[in-house]
Amino acid sequence: MSAATTLLVTGGAGFIGSHVVEAALARGWRVRVLDSLRRDVHGDGTMRVPAQDGLEMVVGDVARERDVASALEGVDVVCHLAAKVGLGVDFGDAADYVASNVGATAVLLQAMRVAQVRRLVLASSMVVYGEGAYRDAEGPLTVPPRAADDLEAGRFEPISPRTGEPVEPLLVDEAAPSDPRNVYAASKLAQEHLAAAWARGGDGTAALLRFHNVYGPHMPMGTPYAGVASLFRSALERGEAPRVFEDGRQRRDFVHVRDVADANLAAADWTASAPAGTVRAFNVGSGVVHTIGEMATALADAFGGPDPVVTGEFRLGDVRHVTASSQRAADELDWRAAIGFEEGMQQFAHAPQRPPAGGGDT
């Protein structure tokens, strides 16, 4: 891919998007950002990446056809990161999630077809899997959602419906069935389906990046929209102990935001060579399993704050274990996470954060 590449990053003023912008500029690409700079997301509405040669900022809404059509002029490839994030457990938020994620993605894809922009990198999420991969004594299986009665009794591990015993968690790969278990997850899966229909119905190529637990510099402070790492770091800033739900043994894959930015560019490269009509999902994770309790402890130690407190609290809709196999990304995108867990937590403990604004984007 030549230095003349022009990349459109929707949501490019957000947490992950701004890192994608920086990484692309460092490559010598021309970058255009389309972001609404909503104050409930961005606070004072300023762009974190400073103005510089090769960067163009367009303030506009991905859900508005004229804004998208203008932003696509001269673009080679799109990284679509603009989204409403968070659990979406309260179904009262369903219409906003669908409008922000599904409706806006449809507008973007329609405009890309008209503009003949045929390369897409979509920010998806591990949440499309629901619970991760498991097996019991009889082999692999899909576990049902955990019951409120079990959670209230402190029985946090999923139980095999076949044996009645706790199951063994495995790494989930892209062949695993989708099983979205909240409104946000359903909206991310809908985005994937729209991207697939767009690519297969024309000459497009689409990389669907299923991000796992992303953390790093400039995460929004103290908001559930940004994930558990942000909540723990914000508690430490206040001099408080991180509060760890359940028993702290939930398994996750924590991946540094700079690695995620590199994965976006690797996927953008892939779209240039993949056959027309190709759609491919890729897990984007570190490939190393850690528990939420381990992450809280590592972050507290690196920060020099109080030890985490395991509360036993829970949220319906949370999954117990979901960890990634990112082997496909290594094999096909030539991408691997470069920042290890200990190094990343040491950096994150003292990295700048974005002030809270009351909402969230990718």
Residue 327 sits in the same domain as residue 338: yes
Q: Is residue 150 part of a domain?
A: yes
Residue 330, pLDDT score: 98
C-alpha–C-alpha distance, residues 201 and 67, integer Å: 24
- Distance in angstroms (rounded) separating the CA atoms of residues 74 and 81: 19
Q: What is the CATH number of the domain that holds 329?
A: 3.40.50.720
Q: What's the pLDDT at 345?
A: 98
Best CA proximity match to 362, nearest among 39, 13, 59, 29: 13
Reading the block at residue 11, the tokens are 């949501």
Last residue of a domain, which of 141, 168, 195? 168
Instruction: Tell me: do 151 and 52 sit in the same domain.
Output: no
Residue ranges in the chain whose pLDDT is less than 50:
1-2, 358-362
332 burial type by CB count under 10 A (0-12 exposed, 13-18 middle, 19+ buried):
middle
Same domain, 262 and 152: no
Measured between alpha carbons, how far is residue 175 from residues 280, 282, 328, 335, 350 in Å? 11, 10, 10, 19, 37
Q: Which amino acid is at 245?
A: F
Q: Are residues 292 and 321 in the same domain?
A: yes
Task: Name the residue range of residue 145's domain.
Answer: 133-168
Domain count, the chain: 2
Any domain includes 98: yes
Is the C-alpha dihedral spanning 169, 173, 174, 176 positive or negative? Answer: negative
pLDDT of res. 86: 72
Looking at the structure, do residues 43 and 140 belong to the same domain, yes or no?
A: no
Q: 272 with 140, same domain?
A: no
* Annotated active-site residue in 97, 184, 215, 225: 184
Q: Given this model, what pLDDT does residue 253 score?
A: 96
Within-domain flag for 127? yes
Q: Do 163 and 280 fall within a single domain?
A: no
Tell me: do 64 and 138 sit in the same domain: no
- Tracing tokens 């278990």 back to the chain, one arrives at 181
Let me know whether 101 and 216 are in one domain: yes
Residue 225 annotated among the catalytic residues of the structure: no
In this structure, is residue 77 part of a structural domain? yes
Instruction: Determine the Cα–Cα distance for residues 183 and 342; give it in Å rounded to an integer.
Output: 33
pLDDT of residue 1: 43
